[in-house]
Amino acid sequence: MDIGLESMQWQLAGQQPAGDFAPVLVGVVGSGNLEVMLEPLPGADCEVRVETSARGFRPIWDAVVADFHRRHGLAGVRVSVNDMGATPAVVSLRLDQAVAEWRSRQP
């Protein structure tokens, strides 16, 4: 039986350079919820890292991350997700919320 957190990572070619920015944090890790943090990353990729308590759902995470990247295409960004069993809809909401917060801080 697998216990503990499952870690996953994606490296995606970005199209929209984020530039330098202060890290953005939205959400809270708790029962059935998650937090998302955006940080600047050197280069033109978007790196997504997920730590989740819900093990064995890689195909669903693949779909959620692909959808997020298709819609936003960020470049030079590390996206860190700390999940405690949120549904895919909540994950997408938090990812969009983080991007909206990042955009609201742009000059």
pLDDT tens for 51-68 read 999 899 999 999 999 999
In a domain, 1, yes or no: no
Residue 51 — φ and ψ, nearest 5°? -120, 120
Q: How many CB atoms lie within 10 A of CB 103?
A: 12
Percent of the chain surpassing pLDDT 70? 98
The CATH code of the domain that includes 91 is 3.30.230
Please list the residues that pair with 10 across neighbouring strands: 48
Domain limits for position 30 = 6-104
Q: Which of 64, 71, 74, 66 is nearest to 43 (CA)?
A: 74
In a domain, 96, yes or no: yes
Q: Tell me if 76 sits within 8 A of 41, measured CB to CB.
A: yes
Judge whether residue 3 has pLDDT over 80. no
